Amino acid sequence: MRLTVLTASVLALTLGVAAATSAEQQEMDHQHSTSATQQTTLVVKSAWSRELPPTAPVGAAFLTLSNHADQADRLLSAESSIAEVTELHAHVHEGDVMRMVKVDGIDIPAHSDLTLEPGGYHIMLINLHKPLVAGQSLPLTLHFERAGQVDVTVQIKSSDAGTSAAAPEMDHSQHNQH
């Protein structure tokens, strides 16, 4: 009797998982077809990162998002095979100190450009699997609420190419504690 109950619950669990997977698949299919038709409405430009010493555990990616659609869109998340964790970050002022905070998303108003740049929004690459070397590039996948998935190639610039002069140095100390 006990075995029967157990079997029944295992079966229910299995069915539940199967149903969820199917729904998830349909959702993904839907997103893919959506992104195919809307891809051109969200354009990613000038994606770049800065070279770092080989021992640096974290890096950051910057880019410009151009939303040509009639509706606002939202960058929800990002991922890269070069980093263990990828987060969306903003900088906040606390007195004279600039501190990075993780954000849940970055809004791009309709028919607008939004630039992620040093001292502002950026995509944080945490626990790098390999060094960021000038002249090379890294892959980045962005997930948008409306435009779906967009793959980007991020160019790694040398640190003396004028990329650091425009903004204050970022405080990465909180990441080093991991």
49-57, 61-69, 94-102, 139-147 -> range binding Cu ion (CB under 5 A): 94-102
DSSP structure class, residue 39:
G
Whole-angstrom Cα distance, residue 77 to residue 64?
Answer: 15
Question: CB count, 10 Å around CB of 81?
Answer: 12
Beta carbon of residue 121, minimum distance to Cu ion (angstroms, whole number): 9
Write the binding mask 40 to 79 for Cu ion: x where contact by CB under 5 A, - elsewhere: ----------------------------------------
- Contact set for Cu ion, span 119-158 (CB under 5 A): 124
Q: Compute how many residues bind Cu ion; rule: CB under 5 A.
A: 3
Beta carbon of residue 151, minimum distance to Cu ion (angstroms, whole number): 22
Using rule CB under 5 A, residue 100 touches Cu ion: yes
83-91, 105-113, 143-151, 157-165 -> range binding Cu ion (CB under 5 A): 83-91
Please select the residue that binds Cu ion; options are 44, 88, 89, 148, rule is CB under 5 A.
Answer: 89
Beta carbon of residue 175, minimum distance to Cu ion (angstroms, whole number): 7
3-state secondary structure of 152: strand
Element (H, E) at 174: helix 173-176
Distance of CA 26 to the CA centre of its chain: 23
Half-sphere exposure of 55 toward its Cβ, with a 13 Å CA cutoff? 1
3-state secondary structure of 38: helix
Burial 141-163 (b: 16+ CB within 10 A, else e): ebbbebbbebebebebbeeeeeb
Using rule CB under 5 A, residue 116 touches Cu ion: no
Beta carbon of residue 55, minimum distance to Cu ion (angstroms, whole number): 18
- Compare residues 89 and 157 and give the one whose CB is closer to Cu ion: 89
Site residues, Cu ion (CB under 5 A): 89, 100, 124
